[in-house]
Amino acid sequence: MLLTGSTHDTAGEARSHAGCHRGGGVRLGIQSVATLIQNANFKGFFTGKIYTGSSKKVCVPGLNCYSCPGAIGACPIGSLQNFLSGMKFRFPYYVLGILLFIGALMGRIVCGFLCPFGFLQDLLYLIPFYKKNRFKADKYLRYLKYAVLAVLVILLPLCLPLTPTFCKFVCPSGTIAGILSYITQPLIRSQMGWLFNWKFIVLLIIIVSGLIVYRPFCKYLCPLGAFYGFFNRFALVRMHLNENKCVHCSACAKACKMNIDPSRKPNSMECIRCGDCVRTCPQKALHIGLKEK
C-alpha cells in the first residue's frame, strides 16, 4: 500500500510538472507576441531611428523604453517622469489615469504576461546556470523597488527639472535601447560617456543576476511592478483561493519562483500572475479570474 501510494504521488507530481511546463510555454508565447507588438517598428532595429508616429503618444502597459528604435509606444514610467520634471509643473493626469486603469483591471498580470523586460528575464532564467532563488536577504531587498518608485521616479524628478532620474541612471530597458543605437548609428558612439558606461554596468549586473535569481529586476528594482503590486488585492482580474479545496500541501509555494505562498497570500503584492501555482496545485484550489469558482 505504501509503495502504491508513493507511486501515485510521484505520477501526480510528474503530471503537475508537465502541465506547469506546458502552461509556461503558452505564457512565453504570449510574452513574445506582446513584446513584438510593442516593438513593431522593425526597421528601426536596422536604422537606429526612433519611431515618431502618433502611437508614441500612447503609453504601453509594461517597461519598454520610448527611445528603443523598435518601440511604437511610450513607457509609462518615462512619461510620468517627463511630466514631473518639466520646467513648468503639469499634473500627469493622462499617465496616472492609464496606470490606475491598468492596475485596477489587471494588477501585476502585466509583469507576468505583457512586459518586454520581464520576458527577457524569463528567457535569461531558462539558461542552464547556477540557481539560488531563495536566500535570507530576499525579503528585505523587495522593499528597494518601493524606494525606487518614491525617490527616483517621483521625488527627484519633481526637484530636478528635466531630469528623469530613473531613466537616466537605472533603467535597463533604456540601456538596451542605447546599445542598439550604439550599434546602428556610428555618430552616437562618440557621445556616449561615463553615464552610458554606468548604465551598462547596471544592466550587466541585472543580466548576470537574472541567470541565478528569477527576475531580480522585477523583485528588487522595478518601480512599475511596485506600482501595479498595490492593486493585486483589488484588481478586477486577480487570484482566487478556494479554502474548502486547499489542503495546505505547499505545492504552490514550492512552484512559485517569486517566493510567495499563494495558499496564505494569494494576492501578494509580489505575485506576477505567472500561473505556475495554479497549474501545480493538485486540488485545483487556485485560479486567476474575475470571480471565485
Residues 59 and 90 in one domain: yes
Check whether residue 122 and residue 31 sit in a common domain. yes
| Residue 212 and residue 76 in one domain | yes
Q: How far apart are CA 276 and CA 256, in angstroms?
A: 6
Are 271 and 180 members of one domain?
Answer: no
Show which of 229, 251, 274 is a domain's final residue: 229
The DSSP secondary-structure symbol of 55 reads G
State the helix-helix crossing angle for 172-184 and 194-212, rounded to 10 degrees: 120
pLDDT of 4: 40
Grid cell in block for residue 129: 546556470
Regarding whether 96 and 69 lie in a shared domain, the answer is yes
Does some domain include residue 77?
A: yes
Does 252 lie in the same domain as 191?
no
pLDDT of res. 55: 96
In a domain? residue 5: no
Q: Please indicate, yes or no, whether residues 208 and 253 belong to a single structural domain of this protein.
A: no
How many structural domains does the chain have? 2
What is the C-alpha to C-alpha distance for residues 73 and 114, in angstroms, rounded to an integer? Answer: 13
CB atoms within 10 A of CB 14: 10
Angle at the Cα of 95 (from 90 to 96), degrees rounded to 5? 90
pLDDT at 21: 63
15 is a domain residue: no
| 174 shares its domain with 265 | no
Residue 284 lies in a domain: yes
Domain end (from 206, 229, 252): 229
Going by C-alpha positions, the residue among 254, 256, 291, 250 that lies closest to residue 271 is 256
Give pLDDT, residue 183: 87
Instruction: Name 124's Cβ contacts closer than 8 Å, sequence gap at least 6.
Output: 207, 210, 211
Gap between the Cα atoms of 116 and 124, Å rounded: 13
Number of helices (H) and strands (E) in the chain: give both, helices first: 17, 2
pTM of the model: 0.90
If asked whether residues 65 and 206 sit together in one domain, one would say yes
| pLDDT, tens only, 168-191 | 999 999 999 999 988 888 777 777
Query: Of 176, 199, 229, which one is at a domain's C-terminal end?
Result: 229
Q: Cα(214)–Cα(225) distance, rounded to whole angstroms?
A: 15
Residues 219 and 263 in one domain: no
Same domain, 172 and 268: no
- Give a yes or no: residue 8 inside a domain: no
Cβ 73 vs Cβ 154: under 8 Å: no
Q: 274: domain range? A: 238-293
The answer as to whether 2 is a domain residue is: no
Please indicate, yes or no, if residue 186 is contained in any of the structural domains. yes
Q: Read off the CATH number of the domain in which 293 is found.
A: 3.30.70.20
Whole-number pLDDT of residue 18: 52
Q: Name the residue with cell 530613473.
A: 166
- What residues of the chain score a pLDDT lower than 70? 1-23
Asked, for residue 28, whether it belongs to a domain, the answer is yes
Burial of 23 (0-12, 13-18, 19+ CB in 10 A): middle
- Are residues 134 and 195 located together in one domain of the fold? yes
And the C-alpha cell for 196? 552610458
